[in-house]
Amino acid sequence: MSIEQTVVITGAAGRTGRALVPRLRRRGRALRLVDTSRAGLELDVEPRDVSWHDVSIEDADGMERVMHGASALVHLAGLSSERPWADLLRVNIDGTHTVLEAARRAGVRRVLLASSIHAVGFQPVGAAASTTPLLPRPDTYYGVSKAAMEALGSLYADRFGMSVVSARICTFLEEPGDGRAVAQWLSPDDMARLVEASVALDDGSHHLVWGVSANAPAWFSLEAGHAIGYRPLDDARAVSIERDGVVPPDPDPTAPLGAAFTDERHPVGGTW
């Protein structure tokens, strides 16, 4: 099989990575899976299709070796919830810098960064419908680390001409939950569609895009996603009606986007 595209996926054994990998495999594409543990990742490895790389995102030399000859980077690795500041700085901020620098040095021009709704957690729900990307208003140290990730993505696009998509991922689940999750759901299939749009992009710009499905409550503007070719198809409300036989209630539109993560039940620097 002739390999036309090689995509590096960091955090490939994480919850999002495990769902994405089988959806991204296709003829002519090689996947380089990067993580420090394969636990939970069930996949037949074929030499010219998928390769496994036990490399930490804190290992600059190791990451540059993985990036050599690659076409695109999907950066999912990092701490996925609130932690002490030093840990988030080391892994989410410094680690993202290490990964981006390795990609730059290896000539990788297309990048998706897994940011989070928590980068704008103190923004009101109503602001998410704006076609202008929201300024960072993080709700936790974790949210700060994702805002820093976005800033690094912007720098690497403007300074080095890389095409970078910072995806503000909302609620990534196999199936939608209830309450706020009806509005915030990102399905695995739509996440794969977002990755496909990002790794095809080559405009040397930074894009802030909501990582969300086409949910009927329509809290989030999809315009920025459409501009890069991301067109989500799944709808949490339709899935919920088919599954449960009832129309789920609309979530409270007056709450901050970060919901409970903006109050004292989730103090900064703690763990949850």
- Strand partners for 256: 124
111 in helix, strand or coil?
Answer: strand
Please answer whether residues 272 and 80 qualify as being in contact, where contact means their C-beta atoms are separated by less than 8 angstroms: no
Residue 251 CB neighbours (<10 A): 18
CB 63 within 8 A of CB 82: no
* Residue owning tokens 């095809």: 200
Would you call 230 a catalytic residue per the annotation?
Answer: no
C-beta of residue 79 within 8 angstroms of C-beta of residue 98 = no
Residue 249, exposed/middle/buried by CB under 10 A (0-12, 13-18, 19+)? exposed
CA distances for 105 relative to 64, 89, 234, 263, angstroms: 7, 22, 37, 41
d(CA 133, CA 129): 9
Q: Which residues contact 148 (CB under 8 A, 6 or more apart)?
A: 92, 93, 96
CA distance 147 to 234: 27
CA distance 209 to 224: 6
Cross-strand pairs, 112: 74, 165
Question: What 3-state DSSP class applies to 171?
Answer: strand
Task: Kindly name the residue from 141, 142, 156, 230 that is annotated as catalytic.
Answer: 142
Catalytic residues: 142
